[in-house]
């Protein structure tokens, strides 16, 4: 039972969360409150860092951003529960199948013993005609019973196999959903973290280059403020498509959070990564945002991109921070450009801005 201190702390955190939501004009929904309560409580360091980063960049915590935060940090828990439940069901089904097979094994053993016993008696020279008839009847009955049990076994195995196959499909579906951003359809932050760690390990083991792009939509807050979060969602989808269309099979484009995207580029030198970033930047700039209701052109979208190449001695956080620093250098120097750190090799600097 919670004591007075626990209740007092919960009330204080709830008040702090509501005050923060009012200050930042966050709609007072249950999901939003769940996110901000976790943020002010400070128990989820990653969530806290993400929200503080968004606030530092003066991001508007509109419904789109809040939905993304809730999905990123709270959907994982639900999916974990689903995975646990499906795993338990598969385990139970496989256990039932094992029991069926064990029973079948005992039936086959008993049938074999009956046949062996009958064969042994039939070999006796003094066996009577009545005994022969009795043994044959017994073997016929045992054979019929075995046929029935075999048919039952076949049906039970078939049913169990189908159930396991269906559960496996559901399990794979949940796993895919757990790694996909529901709005844009590209891999989410969890998938990005997993793929970047895998790519870094491969880079070290095979002495292959690895580069990272960090991309941010320019003036995204302005789109949301002017046209609403539904248009903001349309912008996010458009940019996600442009990025996805320009990456190769081994590369991973993901939604990093909010209006920020990341691209993991295995086996890619810095210069090649910069060129690819330029292609993505140009592709996005060539698009026109059209209002679906009436076909009006709302404007041009641009993105800024930071590029960094992996130093095999650094931790994953350092690579992300360096690419992020390049991204914000691009923002500070005019936006709609690609920027790489000067000390990361050739080319020493690269700014690709629109003419």
Examine residue 39 and state whether it is found in any structural domain, yes or no: yes
Q: Give the separation between CA 165 and CA 210, rounded to whole angstroms.
A: 38
Residue 90 lies in a domain: yes
- Is residue 69 one of the residues assigned to a domain? no
253 exposed, middle or buried (CB, 10 Å; 0-12, 13-18, 19+)?
buried
Average pLDDT of the segment spanning 11-30 = 86
> What φ, ψ does residue 293 adopt, rounded to 5°?
-65, -35
Q: Residue 184 falls within a domain, yes or no? A: no
Give DSSP secondary structure letters for 295-323. --EEEE--EEEEEEE--TTS-HHHHHHHH
Same-domain pairing of 329 and 198: yes
Residues 173 and 215 in one domain: no
SS3 219: coil
Q: Of 178, 208, 236, which residue constitutes the final position of a domain?
A: 178
Residue 205's domain comprises 189-340
Comparing 42-56, 79-93, 196-210, which segment has the lowest mean pLDDT? 79-93
Measured CA to CA, the distance from residue 160 to residue 154 in angstroms comes to 10
pLDDT tens-digit readout, 161-212: 666 666 666 666 666 667 888 889 999 988 899 899 999 999 988 999 999 9
Please give the Cα distance from 13 to 349 (Å, whole number): 47
The pLDDT, as a whole number, for residue 274 is 96
Domain boundary among 178, 204, 238: 178
Closest C-alpha among 211, 212, 219, 339 to residue 278:
339
Longest distance between any two alpha carbons in the chain, whole Å:
110
Q: 15 and 147 share a domain?
A: no
Query: Are 89 and 28 contained in the same domain?
Result: no
Specify the number of domains making up the chain.
3
pLDDT tens sequence across 208-232? 999 999 999 998 888 777 877 788 8
Q: Are residues 289 and 237 in the same domain?
A: yes
Residues 226 and 322 in one domain: yes
- State the Cα–Cα distance between residues 277 and 323, nearest whole angstrom: 12
């Amino acid at each position: 039972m919670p004591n007075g201190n626990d209740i007092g702390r919960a009330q204080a955190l709830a008040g702090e969360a509501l005050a923060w939501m009012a200050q930042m004009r966050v709609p007072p929904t249950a999901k939003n409150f769940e996110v901000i309560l976790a943020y002010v409580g400070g128990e989820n360091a990653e969530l806290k860092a993400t929200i503080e980063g968004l606030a530092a960049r003066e991001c508007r915590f509109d419904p789109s951003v809040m939905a993304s935060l809730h999905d990123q940090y709270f959907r994982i828990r639900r999916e974990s529960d689903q995975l646990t439940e499906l795993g338990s069901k598969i385990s139970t089904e496989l256990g039932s199948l094992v029991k069926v097979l064990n029973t079948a094994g005992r039936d086959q053993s008993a049938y074999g013993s009956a046949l062996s016993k009958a064969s042994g008696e039939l070999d006796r020279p003094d066996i009577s005609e009545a005994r022969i008839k009795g043994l044959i009847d017994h073997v016929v009955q045992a054979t019929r019973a075995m046929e029935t049990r075999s048919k039952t076994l076949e049906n039970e195995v078939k049913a169990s196999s189908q159930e396991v196959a269906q559960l496996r499909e559901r399990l794979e579906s949940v796993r895919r959903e757990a790694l996909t951003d529901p709005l844009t359809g590209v891999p989410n932050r969890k998938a990005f973290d997993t793929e970047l760690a895998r790519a870094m390990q491969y880079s070290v083991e095979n002495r292959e280059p690895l580069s990272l792009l960090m991309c941010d939509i320019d003036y995204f807050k302005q789109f949301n403020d002017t046209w609403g979060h539904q248009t903001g969602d349309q912008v996010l989808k458009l940019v996600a498509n442009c990025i996805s269309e320009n990456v190769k099979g081994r590369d991973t484009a993901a939604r990093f959070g909010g209006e920020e995207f990341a691209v993991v580029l295995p086996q890619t030198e810095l210069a090649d990564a910069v060129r690819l970033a330029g292609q993505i930047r140009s592709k996005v700039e060539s698009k026109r945002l059209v209002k679906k209701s009436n076909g009006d052109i709302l404007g041009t979208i641009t993105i800024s991109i930071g590029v960094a190449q992996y130093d095999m001695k650094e931790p994953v956080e350092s690579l992300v921070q360096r690419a992020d620093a390049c991204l914000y250098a691009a923002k500070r120097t005019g936006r709609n450009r690609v920027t790489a750190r000067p000390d990361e090799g050739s080319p020493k600097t690269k700014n690709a801005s629109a003419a």
